[in-house]
Amino acid sequence: MRRFSFLMGMYWLWAGTAGACTTAAIPQSLNKLMLKSYDWTQGHGMIVVNKRNVAKKALNFYPRAHKLAWTSKYGSVTFNQHGREFPLGGMNEKGLTLEVMWLDSSQYPDADSRPTINELQWIQYQLDNYESAKEVYEHREDLRVQPIYAKVHYLACDPTGTCATFEYVDKQMVAKIGEEMDVQSLTNDTYNDSVGFLKKHQGFGGDKPIPQSDASLDRFVRASALAKAFDENTHKPVEYAFEILNSVGATEYSKFHIVYEIKTRQINFRTREYFRVKSVDTDKLDFRCDGTKTQMLDMETKVEGLVNDSFVAYTVDANKAVIEKSLEHVGALIPPAIVNAWIRYPETTVCQQNN
């Protein structure tokens, strides 16, 4: 297990040099927009339609970990680069939306009596179980994140415009919600450090001009300032959100952009390879686990506009291809049994039929 952790650490160390993601919300927008720039060395992946009423057990490579099992209450649409059930972010059928960002300073808790889950499946668990940022906040101490390796933090928002941040600082969960938050943005520094820097700038109590670099704190200020400047009467909401993403995610590492219209449960995205905007109407998807098979879509599809009809049935081979591409720099060094368990994990989930 130590060898696996070391190898995954080498992967994240290599890839983490490009970990410069930005997420922000525009709570004054009618449809409660949330936007994400995914900045990484790789841009592949799949969009997955996850079903409700599916029994799951957390995938854990640590034999002494306390086991976690649950049954999904809600269906969701997620963006997955490390395999099905391990999303980078997504939205559930109630509108709860979560995204992950890199945070070098993350320090996860020591082992205790709580059940454990890894840092990406934590996102799927929240989407499976809760319908609001408040619910996620209220249950924030129920689980202990035991990472495979990645150092991350999270932003969650919901149809009311309420957002919450979740971070591990000095081995403790630190979370803020609603009015505790000065702005609804997150980059790659802690929320408190980012807000402290923000308050030195024009429009937020300081006199410094809005910075224009790609540094984490500068992106936080710029995203927050642009979100604050949004006016429903003068701006086209989705177009404006993509303009913010153009500002904070325009480097060679900016692999895809997402704009969530949370209140109407619409998802808009574009990739570096195929820049035209695609959209998913989640209200028209079948989230019944005893209905259609789990659906997926290549994130780099050339289709544009509404892509609901382009989803196809999920396959193990597709999951294998996504995971192996993610691990292409270290995959040959990871024990095959671990890689296979990762690839085949979705087969351990079981539909409970009565939806």
pLDDT in tens, 79-95: 999 999 999 999 999 99
Q: Is the pLDDT of residue 176 over 60?
A: yes
pLDDT digits (tens, 9 = 90+) for 266-297: 999 999 999 999 999 999 999 999 878 999 99
Instruction: For residue 175, give the 3-state DSSP assignment.
Output: strand
Average pLDDT over residues 195-206: 99
The answer to whether 181 touches 196, Cβ cutoff 8 Å, is no
pLDDT value, residue 3: 47
The answer to whether 267 touches 91, Cβ cutoff 8 Å, is yes
CATH T-level assignment (fold) for domain 2-351: Penicillin V Acylase; Chain A (3.60.60)
The mean-pLDDT minimum among 12-26, 114-128, 133-147, 162-176 falls in 12-26
CA-CA-CA-CA torsion sign (305, 309, 310, 311): positive
Q: Is the pLDDT of residue 119 over 50?
A: yes
Element (H, E) at 135: helix 133-138
pLDDT value, residue 14: 43
pLDDT value, residue 220: 99
285: its two tokens: 């998807």
CA 341 to chain centre: 22
pLDDT value, residue 15: 46
pLDDT digits (tens, 9 = 90+) for 155-170: 999 999 999 999 999 9
Of 149, 144, 135, the C-alpha closest to 326 is 149
Q: Is the pLDDT of residue 6 over 50?
A: no
Element (H, E) at 129: helix 121-129
Banded pLDDT at 338 (limits 50, 70, 90): confident
Q: Is the pLDDT of residue 229 over 90?
A: yes
Residue type at 275 in one-letter notation: F
323: its two tokens: 């995971």
Average pLDDT over residues 217-229: 99
The answer to whether 12 touches 29, Cβ cutoff 8 Å, is no
User: How far apart, in whole angstroms, are the C-alpha atoms of residue 139 and residue 121?
Assistant: 15
Banded pLDDT at 10 (limits 50, 70, 90): very low
User: How far apart, in whole angstroms, are the C-alpha atoms of residue 225 and residue 201?
Assistant: 9
pTM given for the model: 0.94
Domain ranges of the chain: 2-351
Question: Quick count: other Cβ atoms within 10 Å of Cβ 15?
Answer: 17
